[in-house]
Amino acid sequence: MFQKVLATFGSGGARIDARLLDRTAAPGRPLHGEVLLLGGEVDQEIKGLAVTLLARVQVPGDRTEDLPFGTQQLVGSEVIRAGQQVRVPFEVPLPWETPVTSVYAKPLTGMAVGVRAELDLAAAVSDPFDADAVAVEPLPAQKRILDALSRLGFTFREAILEQGRVDGARQQLPFFQEIRFTPSPRFASVFAQVAVTFLASAERTDVVLEVTKRVRVSKTGGFGGRGQDFLGMFTVKPDVDWEKQLEGWLDQVARPRGIFD
Protein backbone atom coordinates (compact mmCIF):
# COMPACT_ATOMS: atom_id res chain seq x y z
CA MET A 1 0.00 0.00 0.00
CA PHE A 2 2.81 2.45 0.86
CA GLN A 3 4.35 1.92 -2.58
CA LYS A 4 1.02 2.74 -4.22
CA VAL A 5 0.78 5.95 -2.22
CA LEU A 6 4.32 6.94 -3.23
CA ALA A 7 3.53 6.18 -6.87
CA THR A 8 0.69 8.72 -6.83
CA PHE A 9 3.32 11.36 -5.97
CA GLY A 10 5.65 10.18 -8.71
CA SER A 11 8.06 8.24 -6.52
CA GLY A 12 8.47 4.75 -7.95
CA GLY A 13 5.67 5.36 -10.45
CA ALA A 14 5.56 4.86 -14.22
CA ARG A 15 7.91 6.95 -16.38
CA ILE A 16 8.16 7.87 -20.06
CA ASP A 17 11.00 8.71 -22.43
CA ALA A 18 10.13 10.44 -25.73
CA ARG A 19 12.54 9.95 -28.63
CA LEU A 20 12.47 11.47 -32.10
CA LEU A 21 13.45 9.09 -34.91
CA ASP A 22 13.86 11.83 -37.55
CA ARG A 23 17.05 13.91 -37.34
CA THR A 24 15.30 16.75 -39.16
CA ALA A 25 11.71 17.56 -40.07
CA ALA A 26 9.95 19.91 -42.49
CA PRO A 27 6.61 21.75 -42.49
CA GLY A 28 3.77 19.68 -43.89
CA ARG A 29 5.62 16.40 -43.36
CA PRO A 30 5.08 13.75 -40.66
CA LEU A 31 7.33 13.66 -37.61
CA HIS A 32 8.26 10.15 -36.46
CA GLY A 33 9.20 9.10 -32.96
CA GLU A 34 8.45 6.73 -30.13
CA VAL A 35 7.60 6.91 -26.46
CA LEU A 36 9.19 4.39 -24.14
CA LEU A 37 6.73 3.64 -21.35
CA LEU A 38 8.41 2.25 -18.21
CA GLY A 39 6.34 0.64 -15.49
CA GLY A 40 7.16 1.59 -11.90
CA GLU A 41 7.21 -0.43 -8.71
CA VAL A 42 3.47 -1.09 -8.74
CA ASP A 43 0.77 -1.62 -11.34
CA GLN A 44 -0.86 1.68 -12.38
CA GLU A 45 -3.91 2.63 -14.37
CA ILE A 46 -3.25 4.80 -17.42
CA LYS A 47 -5.98 7.21 -18.52
CA GLY A 48 -4.09 8.23 -21.67
CA LEU A 49 -0.78 8.90 -23.40
CA ALA A 50 -0.45 11.78 -25.87
CA VAL A 51 2.18 13.76 -27.76
CA THR A 52 1.79 17.50 -28.30
CA LEU A 53 3.64 19.94 -30.54
CA LEU A 54 4.73 23.03 -28.58
CA ALA A 55 6.24 26.36 -29.56
CA ARG A 56 7.61 29.10 -27.32
CA VAL A 57 5.70 32.21 -28.33
CA GLN A 58 5.80 35.86 -27.35
CA VAL A 59 2.36 36.78 -25.99
CA PRO A 60 0.87 40.13 -24.92
CA GLY A 61 2.37 41.50 -21.72
CA ASP A 62 5.98 40.97 -22.84
CA ARG A 63 5.85 37.31 -21.80
CA THR A 64 6.56 33.97 -23.45
CA GLU A 65 4.40 30.86 -23.25
CA ASP A 66 4.71 27.33 -24.63
CA LEU A 67 1.63 27.10 -26.85
CA PRO A 68 0.34 23.80 -28.29
CA PHE A 69 -0.30 23.59 -32.04
CA GLY A 70 -1.07 19.91 -32.54
CA THR A 71 -1.89 16.90 -30.34
CA GLN A 72 -2.18 13.19 -30.99
CA GLN A 73 -3.53 10.59 -28.59
CA LEU A 74 -1.46 7.40 -28.57
CA VAL A 75 -2.95 5.24 -25.82
CA GLY A 76 -6.32 5.20 -24.13
CA SER A 77 -7.29 3.52 -20.87
CA GLU A 78 -4.76 0.78 -20.04
CA VAL A 79 -2.84 -0.73 -17.13
CA ILE A 80 0.97 -0.56 -17.02
CA ARG A 81 2.34 -3.42 -15.00
CA ALA A 82 5.19 -3.04 -12.53
CA GLY A 83 8.51 -3.21 -14.38
CA GLN A 84 6.84 -3.45 -17.80
CA GLN A 85 8.45 -1.71 -20.82
CA VAL A 86 6.36 -0.72 -23.82
CA ARG A 87 7.44 1.14 -26.95
CA VAL A 88 4.69 3.26 -28.49
CA PRO A 89 5.53 4.63 -31.97
CA PHE A 90 4.00 7.86 -33.19
CA GLU A 91 3.67 9.83 -36.41
CA VAL A 92 2.57 13.43 -35.91
CA PRO A 93 1.78 15.58 -38.98
CA LEU A 94 3.52 18.93 -38.81
CA PRO A 95 1.31 21.85 -39.89
CA TRP A 96 2.47 23.62 -43.03
CA GLU A 97 3.01 26.77 -40.90
CA THR A 98 5.31 24.98 -38.44
CA PRO A 99 8.13 27.44 -37.62
CA VAL A 100 11.55 26.88 -39.11
CA THR A 101 14.11 26.19 -36.37
CA SER A 102 17.19 25.27 -38.41
CA VAL A 103 18.65 26.25 -41.79
CA TYR A 104 21.28 24.00 -43.37
CA ALA A 105 21.60 22.26 -39.97
CA LYS A 106 22.38 25.56 -38.22
CA PRO A 107 19.89 26.36 -35.39
CA LEU A 108 18.05 29.68 -35.58
CA THR A 109 18.65 31.76 -32.49
CA GLY A 110 15.45 32.35 -30.52
CA MET A 111 13.51 29.29 -31.71
CA ALA A 112 12.10 26.73 -29.27
CA VAL A 113 9.83 24.17 -30.94
CA GLY A 114 9.42 20.64 -29.68
CA VAL A 115 7.26 17.61 -29.04
CA ARG A 116 6.10 16.76 -25.53
CA ALA A 117 4.84 13.36 -24.44
CA GLU A 118 2.62 13.26 -21.37
CA LEU A 119 1.29 10.26 -19.48
CA ASP A 120 -2.10 10.72 -17.81
CA LEU A 121 -2.14 8.49 -14.73
CA ALA A 122 -5.27 7.84 -12.72
CA ALA A 123 -5.09 9.11 -9.12
CA ALA A 124 -1.64 10.67 -9.67
CA VAL A 125 -0.77 14.00 -8.08
CA SER A 126 1.55 14.84 -10.98
CA ASP A 127 1.78 13.26 -14.42
CA PRO A 128 5.17 12.33 -15.92
CA PHE A 129 6.18 14.02 -19.17
CA ASP A 130 9.19 14.26 -21.47
CA ALA A 131 10.01 16.73 -24.24
CA ASP A 132 12.40 16.83 -27.20
CA ALA A 133 13.36 19.76 -29.42
CA VAL A 134 12.50 19.44 -33.12
CA ALA A 135 14.88 20.56 -35.87
CA VAL A 136 12.58 21.92 -38.60
CA GLU A 137 14.30 22.76 -41.89
CA PRO A 138 12.68 25.14 -44.42
CA LEU A 139 10.81 23.91 -47.47
CA PRO A 140 12.55 24.33 -50.86
CA ALA A 141 10.43 27.42 -51.61
CA GLN A 142 11.36 28.94 -48.26
CA LYS A 143 15.04 28.19 -48.84
CA ARG A 144 14.91 30.08 -52.14
CA ILE A 145 13.83 33.25 -50.34
CA LEU A 146 16.37 32.87 -47.52
CA ASP A 147 19.15 32.17 -50.02
CA ALA A 148 18.16 35.21 -52.10
CA LEU A 149 18.34 37.51 -49.06
CA SER A 150 21.71 36.05 -48.11
CA ARG A 151 23.11 36.62 -51.61
CA LEU A 152 21.82 40.22 -51.45
CA GLY A 153 24.01 40.75 -48.37
CA PHE A 154 21.40 40.47 -45.58
CA THR A 155 22.61 38.63 -42.47
CA PHE A 156 20.49 36.65 -40.03
CA ARG A 157 19.93 38.38 -36.67
CA GLU A 158 17.29 36.40 -34.76
CA ALA A 159 13.98 34.62 -35.05
CA ILE A 160 10.87 35.02 -32.90
CA LEU A 161 7.36 33.61 -32.69
CA GLU A 162 4.64 36.14 -32.02
CA GLN A 163 1.04 35.48 -31.04
CA GLY A 164 -1.42 37.08 -33.43
CA ARG A 165 -2.18 37.28 -37.12
CA VAL A 166 -0.58 38.86 -40.17
CA ASP A 167 -2.94 41.42 -41.71
CA GLY A 168 -4.27 40.40 -45.10
CA ALA A 169 -2.66 36.95 -45.11
CA ARG A 170 -4.05 33.43 -45.06
CA GLN A 171 -2.99 31.95 -41.73
CA GLN A 172 -3.87 28.76 -39.85
CA LEU A 173 -1.87 28.87 -36.60
CA PRO A 174 -2.54 31.42 -33.82
CA PHE A 175 1.05 32.68 -34.06
CA PHE A 176 3.55 33.52 -36.79
CA GLN A 177 7.32 33.43 -37.16
CA GLU A 178 9.56 36.36 -37.99
CA ILE A 179 13.07 35.63 -39.26
CA ARG A 180 14.88 38.92 -38.82
CA PHE A 181 17.84 40.15 -40.84
CA THR A 182 20.36 42.95 -40.52
CA PRO A 183 20.24 44.99 -43.77
CA SER A 184 23.00 44.71 -46.33
CA PRO A 185 25.52 47.59 -46.52
CA ARG A 186 23.58 48.97 -49.49
CA PHE A 187 20.39 49.41 -47.40
CA ALA A 188 21.91 49.88 -43.93
CA SER A 189 21.41 53.64 -43.91
CA VAL A 190 17.74 53.31 -44.92
CA PHE A 191 16.48 50.16 -43.19
CA ALA A 192 16.79 49.23 -39.54
CA GLN A 193 15.57 45.68 -40.06
CA VAL A 194 14.03 43.28 -42.55
CA ALA A 195 11.83 40.42 -41.28
CA VAL A 196 10.53 37.41 -43.22
CA THR A 197 7.36 35.46 -42.40
CA PHE A 198 6.41 32.28 -44.25
CA LEU A 199 2.79 31.19 -44.53
CA ALA A 200 2.78 27.85 -46.32
CA SER A 201 -0.01 25.50 -47.31
CA ALA A 202 -0.28 22.33 -49.37
CA GLU A 203 -0.97 24.45 -52.47
CA ARG A 204 1.51 27.32 -52.14
CA THR A 205 4.02 29.19 -50.03
CA ASP A 206 3.48 32.89 -49.31
CA VAL A 207 6.22 35.12 -47.97
CA VAL A 208 5.63 38.36 -46.09
CA LEU A 209 8.45 40.91 -45.92
CA GLU A 210 8.30 43.54 -43.19
CA VAL A 211 10.80 46.36 -43.55
CA THR A 212 11.45 48.83 -40.76
CA LYS A 213 12.55 52.02 -42.48
CA ARG A 214 14.54 54.60 -40.59
CA VAL A 215 12.79 57.96 -40.13
CA ARG A 216 15.02 60.96 -40.70
CA VAL A 217 12.66 63.57 -39.20
CA SER A 218 9.89 62.65 -36.78
CA LYS A 219 6.47 64.24 -37.13
CA THR A 220 6.69 65.50 -33.55
CA GLY A 221 9.98 67.23 -34.18
CA GLY A 222 13.59 66.13 -33.95
CA PHE A 223 15.48 63.47 -35.83
CA GLY A 224 15.21 59.69 -35.79
CA GLY A 225 12.27 57.91 -34.26
CA ARG A 226 10.98 54.37 -34.15
CA GLY A 227 10.75 54.08 -37.93
CA GLN A 228 8.03 53.11 -40.39
CA ASP A 229 7.02 49.55 -41.22
CA PHE A 230 6.27 48.45 -44.78
CA LEU A 231 4.77 45.08 -45.76
CA GLY A 232 5.24 43.19 -49.00
CA MET A 233 3.50 39.89 -49.80
CA PHE A 234 4.57 37.45 -52.49
CA THR A 235 3.64 33.93 -53.55
CA VAL A 236 6.80 31.91 -54.14
CA LYS A 237 6.99 30.53 -57.69
CA PRO A 238 9.84 28.44 -59.11
CA ASP A 239 10.32 30.43 -62.33
CA VAL A 240 11.02 33.78 -60.60
CA ASP A 241 14.45 35.39 -60.11
CA TRP A 242 13.94 36.09 -56.41
CA GLU A 243 17.11 38.11 -55.96
CA LYS A 244 15.90 40.51 -58.65
CA GLN A 245 12.30 40.48 -57.35
CA LEU A 246 13.25 41.21 -53.75
CA GLU A 247 15.87 43.77 -54.64
CA GLY A 248 13.38 45.63 -56.84
CA TRP A 249 10.79 45.78 -54.06
CA LEU A 250 13.37 46.88 -51.49
CA ASP A 251 14.55 49.62 -53.87
CA GLN A 252 10.98 50.94 -54.10
CA VAL A 253 10.56 50.98 -50.32
CA ALA A 254 13.94 52.68 -49.87
CA ARG A 255 12.99 55.68 -52.03
CA PRO A 256 12.17 58.89 -50.08
CA ARG A 257 8.44 59.63 -49.91
CA GLY A 258 8.47 63.01 -48.22
CA ILE A 259 10.05 65.18 -45.54
CA PHE A 260 9.37 62.62 -42.83
CA ASP A 261 10.94 59.74 -44.79
CA-nearest of 174, 169, 173, 228 to 59 is 174
Residue 258 pLDDT > 90? no
Helix H, strand E, coil C: the string for 178-217 is EEEEECCCCCCCCEEEEEEEEEECCCCEEEEEEEEECCCE
Instruction: Give phi and psi for 7, each to the nearest 5.
Output: -65, -35
Q: What domain count does the chain have?
A: 2
Residue 94 covered by a domain: yes
Do 111 and 165 reside in the same domain of the chain? no
Do 183 and 81 reside in the same domain of the chain? no
Residue 213 covered by a domain: yes
**Residue 222: CB partners within 8 Å, gap ≥ 6?**
none
Residue 9 pLDDT > 70? no
The reported pLDDT for the residue numbered 1 is 40
Q: What's the number of CA atoms in the CB half-sphere (13 Å) around residue 145?
A: 25
| Residue, of 194 and 225, whose pLDDT is higher | 194
| Residue, of 185 and 227, whose pLDDT is higher | 185
Question: Could you tell me what percent of the chain has a pLDDT over 70?
Answer: 87
- Domain end, chosen from 94, 112, 133, is at 133
The reported pLDDT for the residue numbered 223 is 43
- Domain end, chosen from 80, 103, 133, is at 133
Do 41 and 120 reside in the same domain of the chain? yes
* C-alpha–C-alpha distance, residues 76 and 130, integer Å: 18
The pTM of the full predicted model, rounded to 2 decimals, is 0.85
Q: Which range among 14-18, 132-136, 153-157, 207-211 shows the weakest confidence by mean pLDDT?
A: 14-18
Do 18 and 125 reside in the same domain of the chain? yes
* C-alpha–C-alpha distance, residues 185 and 194, integer Å: 13
The reported pLDDT for the residue numbered 96 is 97
Do 128 and 144 reside in the same domain of the chain? no
| Residue, of 202 and 42, whose pLDDT is higher | 202
Residue 190 covered by a domain: yes
Let me know: does 54 contact 114? Beta carbons within 8 Å. yes
Domain that residue 243 falls in: 140-254
* Alpha carbon distances (Å) from 81 to 6, 15, 162, 168: 16, 12, 43, 54
| Residue, of 151 and 10, whose pLDDT is higher | 151
Residue 222 pLDDT > 80? no
User: Across all residues in the chain, what is the average pLDDT?
Assistant: 87
Do 9 and 65 reside in the same domain of the chain? yes
Question: Could you tell me what percent of the chain has a pLDDT over 90?
Answer: 69
Do 18 and 122 reside in the same domain of the chain? yes
Do 151 and 233 reside in the same domain of the chain? yes
The reported pLDDT for the residue numbered 238 is 86
Q: Which range among 36-45, 59-68, 205-214 shows the weakest confidence by mean pLDDT?
A: 36-45
Do 10 and 127 reside in the same domain of the chain? yes
Radius of gyration of the chain (CA): 23
Q: 72 falls in which pLDDT band (50, 70, 90)?
A: very high
* C-alpha–C-alpha distance, residues 127 and 117, integer Å: 10
Q: 186 falls in which pLDDT band (50, 70, 90)?
A: very high
Residue 260 covered by a domain: no
Q: 261 falls in which pLDDT band (50, 70, 90)?
A: low
Do 122 and 149 reside in the same domain of the chain? no
- Domain end, chosen from 133, 152, 184, is at 133
Do 47 and 16 reside in the same domain of the chain? yes
Q: 25 falls in which pLDDT band (50, 70, 90)?
A: very high
pLDDT 10s digits, 155-176: 999 999 999 999 888 899 999 9
The CATH number of the domain holding residue 90 is 2.60.40.640
Do 60 and 156 reside in the same domain of the chain? no
Residue 205 covered by a domain: yes
Residue 250 pLDDT > 60? yes
Residue 261 covered by a domain: no
Residue 3 pLDDT > 50? no
Q: Which range among 68-77, 91-100, 131-140, 143-152 shows the weakest confidence by mean pLDDT?
A: 68-77
